[in-house]
């Protein structure tokens, strides 16, 4: 008995070391899955969570792109632009409620995405109006009132031939682009058929494609 106690006591520092090492690794892994500025999941983390969620039932997939964000950065500086990104992330979480099965993410730059459980498509316009109003509400920063617009595109996965996240994101992106061309606001994709051409596997005109003046 004394020998067992002695063995456990001797292994204590080693066990504690492994525990702390595992804790640090878990924290680093969690941090890698979160965008450091907005606190939202990154694109890769979002795609993993969304792909699993789509197998559980109908959802709405949203793509959001801020309007006028470059002007804010150019006029007030990047610190203010960062505050706009954080404010947008807060609005997404407040409206969608991650605890209710929704997932919001920052895809990069001023582009965001979200996945929302939506068994009843009648609720989607109400959701999009609320989200648009929340994101475009004035944001106070060091005595300044900052305002940006947003274009939101949505795709109902129930209208797709299969629970395909890439297709849902593509259709939501096309709907977002249609909203942006009409001056902002929100738009719902009509069915699964693609409406825009593709460059390098992405909608022509998006950042990263050959066409200039990307949206």
- Active-site residue, 133 included: no
Q: What is the structure's pLDDT at 10?
A: 57
**Torsion 107-129-183-158 (CA) sign:** positive
Q: What is the structure's pLDDT at 191?
A: 84
Q: Is the pTM of this model over 0.85?
A: no
Q: Which of 35, 65, 67, 110 is catalytic?
A: 110
Q: What is the structure's pLDDT at 99?
A: 63
Q: What is the structure's pLDDT at 212?
A: 45
Q: What is the structure's pLDDT at 194?
A: 83
Which segments of the chain have a pLDDT < 50? 8, 15, 18-32, 199-201, 209-215
Q: Using an 8 Å Cβ cutoff, are 187 and 195 in contact? A: no
73 — phi, psi (to 5°)? -60, -45
Q: Is 171 exposed, middle or buried (0-12, 13-18, 19+ CB in 10 A)?
A: buried
Q: What is the structure's pLDDT at 21?
A: 42
Q: What is the structure's pLDDT at 14?
A: 55
Q: Which runs of E-coded beta strand occur in the chain?
A: 59-67, 103-108, 111-117, 139-141, 144-146, 149-156, 185-188, 198-199, 202-203
């Amino acid at each position: 008995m004394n020998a067992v106690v002695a063995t456990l006591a001797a292994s204590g520092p080693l066990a504690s070391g492994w525990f702390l090492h595992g804790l640090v690794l878990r924290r680093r892994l969690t941090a890698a899955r979160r965008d450091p500025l907005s606190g939202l999941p990154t694109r890769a983390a979002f795609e993993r969570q969304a792909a699993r969620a789509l197998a559980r039932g109908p959802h709405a997939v949203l793509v959001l792109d801020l309007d006028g964000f470059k002007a804010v950065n150019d006029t007030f500086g990047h610190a203010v632009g960062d505050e706009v990104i954080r404010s947008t992330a807060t609005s997404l979480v407040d409206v969608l409620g991650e605890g209710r099965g929704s997932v919001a993410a920052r895809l990069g730059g001023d582009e965001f995405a979200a996945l929302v459980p939506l068994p009843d498509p009648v609720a989607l316009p109400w959701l999009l109006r609320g989200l648009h109003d929340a994101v475009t509400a004035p944001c106070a920063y060091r005595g300044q009132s900052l305002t940006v617009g947003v274009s939101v595109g949505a795709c109902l996965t129930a209208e797709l031939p299969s629970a395909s996240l890439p297709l849902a994101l593509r259709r939501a992106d096309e709907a977002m682009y249609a909203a942006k061309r009409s001056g902002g606001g929100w738009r719902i994709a009509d069915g699964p058929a693609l409406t825009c051409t593709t460059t390098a596997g992405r909608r022509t005109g998006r950042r990263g494609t050959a066409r200039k003046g990307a949206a």
